[in-house]
Structure 1
Amino acid sequence: MSDFVVDFCWDVLEDSRLPLVFCTTLVGVLTVYVGRKFYTRQQYKRKVQRKNEERQKALQDVLKSLDTDDKDISDINEILTLTLPQLTQQLKDGQLSAVQVLQAYQKKALAVHGGINCITEPIPNALARAQELDSTDQKSGLLYGVPVSIKDNINIKGMANTLGLVKYLENYAEEDSVIVRVLKKQGAVPFVKTNVPQLLFDIGCGNPLFGTTLNPRDPTRSPGGSSGGEAALIGGGGSILGIGNDVGGSIRIPAHFCGICGFKPTANRLSKKGYFTAAPGQQGLVSTCGPMARDVDSLVLVMKALLVPDMFQLDPLVPPIPFRHEIYISKRPLKIGYFLDWELALAAPALTRAVKVTKEALEKAGHNLVLFQPPKSDHAFQDIIPKCLLADGGETIRSRMSGEMADPRLKAMMPYLTMSYFWRKVVGFLLKPISPRVSRGMSHRLLRTIYDLWQRLVEREEYVREFLSTWEEADIDVLLCPAFPIPAFKYKGTRAIPETTYYTNIFNLLNFPAGVVPVTKVTEEDDRLLDDIIGSKKDPFDRNVLKVAKGAVDMPVAVQCVALPWQEEACLRLMKEVETVCKM
């Protein structure tokens, strides 16, 4: 038998035709593979080109429709400078029409978009809706005639939710999201959708479909993500009110970067029905919709407008708790916990200074500020959060990205998001002498069973209870802390810096309401002190986080205000107090 095998193998090797057949087959397979890849890529580019042609036409059609002959530039500018409460009053009094206000903001929004690319698409029926409102005698609704911008992944009937992916170009919403339906019932006029980072996984804001959004304060810098288009449009003056969502800081980070106010309620205080998420089924870090605006009064007005019976009826999962105005307007002095930095010690001087300045101003206003030490935050950052976020081993992300071109920033993060447990262990081991903290985060065991997931959720619950216990022992009403470790960073030369998001996603893990308020700007002295801190860091990853904060002089800096679950009114009250004592 063995002789037969040897003879057969020798005959195969002697047959001169086989190498030729093998090579021909190999070339054929490679040709088909390369051809298919080329064809797929060309199809992808054609779809992107076609979509952007449609997008540009829609934007040009809006520009052509603007009927501003009867209103000179000064009139338009006057509309744009009104606060939201002032605007709603003038609309209800009949001093302004819904069409006038809409067209003023359409004109400004298109001008802002032309410089920073923040709009994905105009909402087609906005003008018709404004005209309909003007034709009625009854001017009802807390947001009557107010133009509202909407984040790309929130449902608008007939419009696609793309997440910056070509495969979802025809993912048309069959109906408005609940939050949009309630806004309309309150008289609002949704008028544009705004850009997001691909898959919503970045604190930059770009995707191959709609391009990159820039910061209105400095176009070389990021506007934040994932509600980056919203923050950029509002920060540039092109919208007075926007709706985003937040699973790890996606409202608060862009608001901080762009110098506006942003608010993340407790999950399910506002309806989540009708928005498209990158990781459905993810447990542990809870997502929620929330408002973004220039000032706290605007956030309060929209929360009042949304927390009404219409929302509770349209989504029975939302607890029927109306806005409790008496908590918001209370004059009782607050006992406010504060801290300057998390255990990671990554906050740049501008961020810690912002908390110090705010603390002193609040004390002068009669409030009691006490130092607060969060419990075991390192355990939450390095163990609980990564395990909850990547519980599926990155399978959902891989599925979403199948057949897609990745944005360069997301492409840089993909190995971290989708790496197998084996390679995580290898990379974690290699990084241990360089950065023990990052090594620990890379080496955590992926969740392989339902039992593993349940154990991580038990850890989360235990941490939440521990944090609540620490809060109770401190006997504080609300909490003040850095909004983020760094100001808006330059796009050029920077990649993913996931460690920074711990400053915001910790409150998604805890499910505490949190908002940000701009209080100061980066100074020359802040930038100088940053050099000393960078030089003191041994961990190269820590140095990288702080290096990207260099050169941000005059960029806005916010503080973060936090309250206990379901205490949105208390959180907004602290935000208003901060805004009052720290007028920029």
Structure 2
Amino acid sequence: MSDFVVDFCWDVLEDSRLPLVVCTILVGVLTVYVGRKFYTRQQYKRKVQRKNEERQKALQDVLKSLDTDDKDVQDKRKDILTLTLPQLTQQLKDGQLSAVQVLQAYQEKAIAVHDDLNCVTEPIPDALGRAEELDRAGQRSGLLYGVPVSIKENIDIKGMANTLGLVKYLENYAEEDSVIVRVLKKQGAVPFVKTNVPQTLIDTGCSNPLFGTTLNPRDPTRSPGGSSGGEAALIGGGGSILGIGNDIGGSLRIPAHFCGICGFKPTANRLSKQGYFNCSPGQQGLTGTCGPMARDVDSLVLVMKALLVPDMFQLDPLVPPIPFRQEIYESKKPLKIGYILDWELKMATPALTRAVKVMKDALEKAGHELVPFQPPKSDNAFYDISPKCLLADGGKTIRDRMSGEIADPRLKAVMPYLTMSYFWRKVVGFLLKPISSRFARMQSHRLLRTIYDLWQRLVEREDYVREFLAAWEDAGIDVLLCHAYPIPAFKYKGAPALLELANYTSIFNLLNFPAGVVPVTKVTEEDDRLLDDYTGSDNDIFDRFVRKVTKGAVGMPVAVQCVALPWQEEACLRLMKEVETVCKIQL
């Protein structure tokens, strides 16, 4: 825009027939325009610099408070970091460990991990005071007594800003804790850091101009996933034992898969959504929710038990009062498990398909019945219903969020897809079709013009849910096993948001089924060699691009996704535990 204004004014000035006064006015307008942009940009940079100086000082202050030459203290901190969550909670309750000891061990480790990966946005100021208060009280009550918990940046912590990686929200201070954080505290937990997110949360990477880029703990050249990328990187790097993220299209499961940890998305409203800053408030169709992230399934189960209590049901009456049903989770009855080796999109790379096959065989040997599951044709859900629901406002919310902001390069690359008018979508789709049918189809959905259009898409969503449920019933399955995502963690360099690949996770937001991921293997040399023959379904430019950014991922973690029917979180977690149990390959 600025180049156009400059060129226009220069052409006007070269036309000597115009009165001098007109030229003077144009020069004045140009000066004001350029000056205003320069001033805004400088103000933006000063705010970012000031915030990061405050952030670094806060982290350094925490680090200074942890400084000790006492070898016994140092050894104890190392020992604490080796404990699983159930072991840690037991030692805290027995009095073998204090809340302060555990907090300081994880504060020290979190800062070390952050120094390598840039995953923490800010330390939570009252963490130490809360741990000291718990120790003084001496009651040692609550399922998560003394457990440090990391919190995704957009979840409310009283007095802290939720920015979505945007400068305009630097003073968007939460007036109170989110319901989930309040229940965690009632259960004795100690929230201690907030973690990084991609700008506006719309990315499978994790970067923004305010807090920078978060890296993968297994390979710093690759993405940790998004939008809960900071959480996954911190937990995957050992800097947190338990985290809370949220998921509207895979934002929790994709990072867990990329970083080699477990992540769980419940049915929407099984956990309270009150108190987190959403990138697209009012959006209907793809249902989002908060969920836990941890190193193992036992930890996910413990936090779900801690959250599904009367405190949550009272603080948020919209949450159905369904406590955690231990008998379903602990059932020994063999499961009938459906499995999908690929959707009709056929984008899964060799490592991901191998993971499903390996788990299918292992679960059969463990006594479960595995049957192929054929979901109803998903093209309409992937390419039409989902994007129409997600972008029902024509991208206006995202445009408003980004107004006056400097766009992160990764978001900038995908902004046309999020905000393009229907006319230009058709033009771009037509031009792209000869070289990439996938890209063309991503652009092909018609924007909603009326409330009636929106209602029709929501009816289509309901119809698809019914079709899926009917297929599930016909198959007679209890739970479902499928890909966590089509690819392992991709290289940051040259890779955009890759939003289409999220169809493998967003389908379960559209259906509103609980789903979780469990790491089961790593990319092998053979997987990488087979990638040379990967063609997807069309072998178009998109498929070749996927192959390029995935190549060389040997050693990166690979997960499978476990799914259950709505409100059957315990059954989903049981399958996740079965998968974890039969998995013999340690990441």
For Structure 1 versus Structure 2, the TM-score category normalised by the shorter chain is over 0.9
Q: Which residue of 2 aligns with 1:401?
A: 402
> Match of 2:407, as an amino acid?
A
* Contact 1:338–1:480 (8 Å) recurs in 2: yes
Q: Which residue of 1 aligns with 2:274?
A: 273
* Contact 1:513–1:566 (8 Å) recurs in 2: yes
Q: How does 1:149-160 map to 2 (within 5 A)?
A: 149-160=150-161
Task: State the TM-score, normalizing by the size of structure 2.
Answer: 0.96
Q: How does 1:223-372 map to 2 (within 5 A)?
A: 223-372=224-373
CA change 1:535–1:436 in 2 (3 A) is closer
Please state if 1:478 is matched with 2:499.
no
Secondary structure of the structure 2 residue equivalent to 1:519: strand
Please state if 1:523 is matched with 2:524.
yes
Q: Which residue of 2 aligns with 1:50?
A: 50
Taking only aligned residues, the RMSD between alpha carbons, in angstroms, comes to: 1.2
> Match of 1:468, as an amino acid?
L
Alignment partners' CA distance in 2, 1:25 and 1:445 = 43
Q: Which residue of 2 aligns with 1:416?
A: 417
Q: Which residue of 1 aligns with 2:9?
A: none
Alignment partners' CA distance in 1, 2:424 and 2:110 = 46
Q: What do residues 129-187 of structure 1 show as CA deviations (whole Å, max 9, x unaligned)? A: 00000001211000000000000000000000000000000000000000000000000
* Contact 1:339–1:373 (8 Å) recurs in 2: yes
Secondary structure of the structure 1 residue equivalent to 2:559: strand
CA deviation after TM superposition for structure 1 residue 541, in Å: 1.2
Alignment partners' CA distance in 1, 2:434 and 2:181 = 51
Alignment partners' CA distance in 2, 1:167 and 1:536 = 43
CA deviation after TM superposition for structure 1 residue 440, in Å: 2.9
Alignment partners' CA distance in 2, 1:436 and 1:230 = 35
CA change 1:72–1:449 in 2 (3 A) is same
* Contact 2:253–2:264 (8 Å) recurs in 1: yes
> Match of 2:43, as an amino acid?
Q
Alignment partners' CA distance in 1, 2:277 and 2:579 = 33
Alignment partners' CA distance in 2, 1:158 and 1:365 = 50
Percent of residue pairs bearing the same amino acid type: 85
CA deviation after TM superposition for structure 1 residue 340, in Å: 1.1
Q: Which residue of 2 aligns with 1:464?
A: 465
Q: Which residue of 1 aligns with 2:39?
A: 39
Alignment partners' CA distance in 2, 1:537 and 1:426 = 21
CA deviation after TM superposition for structure 1 residue 430, in Å: 1.3
> Match of 2:316, as an amino acid?
D
Q: How does 1:171-186 map to 2 (within 5 A)?
A: 171-186=172-187
* Contact 2:227–2:255 (8 Å) recurs in 1: yes
Moved more, 18-27 or 92-101: 18-27
Q: What do residues 251-272 of structure 1 show as CA deviations (whole Å, max 9, x unaligned)? A: 1000000000000000000000
CA change 1:313–1:435 in 2 (3 A) is same
Q: What do residues 515-563 of structure 1 show as CA deviations (whole Å, max 9, x unaligned)? A: 0000000000000000011498531112212321100000000000000
> Match of 2:156, as an amino acid?
N
Q: How does 1:403-552 map to 2 (within 5 A)?
A: 403-534=404-535, 537-552=538-553
CA deviation after TM superposition for structure 1 residue 64, in Å: 1.0
Secondary structure of the structure 1 residue equivalent to 2:370: strand
Q: Which residue of 1 aligns with 2:171?
A: 170
Moved more, 123-132 or 20-29: 20-29
> Match of 2:206, as an amino acid?
C
> Match of 2:168, as an amino acid?
K
Secondary structure of the structure 2 residue equivalent to 1:242: strand
Alignment partners' CA distance in 2, 1:68 and 1:472 = 60
Q: Which residue of 1 aligns with 2:8?
A: none
Q: Which residue of 2 aligns with 1:77?
A: 78
Secondary structure of the structure 2 residue equivalent to 1:278: coil
> Match of 1:57, as an amino acid?
K
CA deviation after TM superposition for structure 1 residue 20, in Å: 2.1
Alignment partners' CA distance in 2, 1:286 and 1:221 = 28
> Match of 2:490, as an amino acid?
F
> Match of 1:404, as an amino acid?
E
* Contact 1:483–1:516 (8 Å) recurs in 2: yes
Q: What do residues 438-482 of structure 1 show as CA deviations (whole Å, max 9, x unaligned)? A: 323312210010000000000000000000000000000000000
* Contact 1:500–1:545 (8 Å) recurs in 2: no
Q: Which residue of 1 aligns with 2:132?
A: 131
Q: What do residues 25-73 of structure 1 show as CA deviations (whole Å, max 9, x unaligned)? A: 2111111100000000000000000000000000011011116555343
- Whichever of the two has the greater Rg, that structure is 1
* Contact 2:154–2:278 (8 Å) recurs in 1: yes
Moved more, 370-379 or 284-293: 370-379
> Match of 1:55, as an amino acid?
R
Q: Which residue of 2 aligns with 1:61?
A: 61
Q: Which residue of 1 aligns with 2:10?
A: none
Q: Which residue of 2 aligns with 1:9?
A: none
CA deviation after TM superposition for structure 1 residue 16, in Å: 7.0
Q: What do residues 333-382 of structure 1 show as CA deviations (whole Å, max 9, x unaligned)? A: 00000011111101010000000000011011000000001111111111
Q: Which residue of 1 aligns with 2:6?
A: none
Q: Which residue of 2 aligns with 1:391?
A: 392
Alignment partners' CA distance in 1, 2:504 and 2:445 = 20
> Match of 1:456, as an amino acid?
R
Q: Which residue of 2 aligns with 1:209?
A: 210
> Match of 2:123, as an amino acid?
P
Secondary structure of the structure 2 residue equivalent to 1:366: coil
> Match of 2:371, as an amino acid?
V
CA deviation after TM superposition for structure 1 residue 495, in Å: 1.4
* Contact 1:346–1:546 (8 Å) recurs in 2: no
Q: Which residue of 1 aligns with 2:5?
A: none
Alignment partners' CA distance in 2, 1:474 and 1:507 = 18
CA deviation after TM superposition for structure 1 residue 195, in Å: 0.2
Secondary structure of the structure 2 residue equivalent to 1:472: helix
Alignment partners' CA distance in 2, 1:362 and 1:536 = 28
* Contact 2:346–2:536 (8 Å) recurs in 1: no
Alignment partners' CA distance in 2, 1:579 and 1:495 = 32
Secondary structure of the structure 2 residue equivalent to 1:270: coil
Moved more, 177-186 or 129-138: 129-138
Q: Which residue of 2 aligns with 1:555?
A: 556
Alignment partners' CA distance in 1, 2:108 and 2:19 = 68
Q: Which residue of 2 aligns with 1:8?
A: none
CA deviation after TM superposition for structure 1 residue 21, in Å: 2.2
> Match of 2:340, as an amino acid?
F
Alignment partners' CA distance in 1, 2:463 and 2:437 = 25
* Contact 1:150–1:193 (8 Å) recurs in 2: yes
Secondary structure of the structure 2 residue equivalent to 1:73: helix
* Contact 1:241–1:291 (8 Å) recurs in 2: yes
* Contact 1:303–1:323 (8 Å) recurs in 2: yes
Secondary structure of the structure 2 residue equivalent to 1:548: helix
CA change 1:149–1:536 in 2 (3 A) is closer
The answer for unaligned runs of 5 or more in structure 1 is: 1-14
Alignment partners' CA distance in 1, 2:440 and 2:105 = 52
- Count of equivalent residues: 570
Please state if 1:113 is matched with 2:118.
no
Alignment partners' CA distance in 1, 2:363 and 2:313 = 36
Task: State the TM-score, normalizing by the size of structure 1.
Answer: 0.96
CA change 1:223–1:30 in 2 (3 A) is same
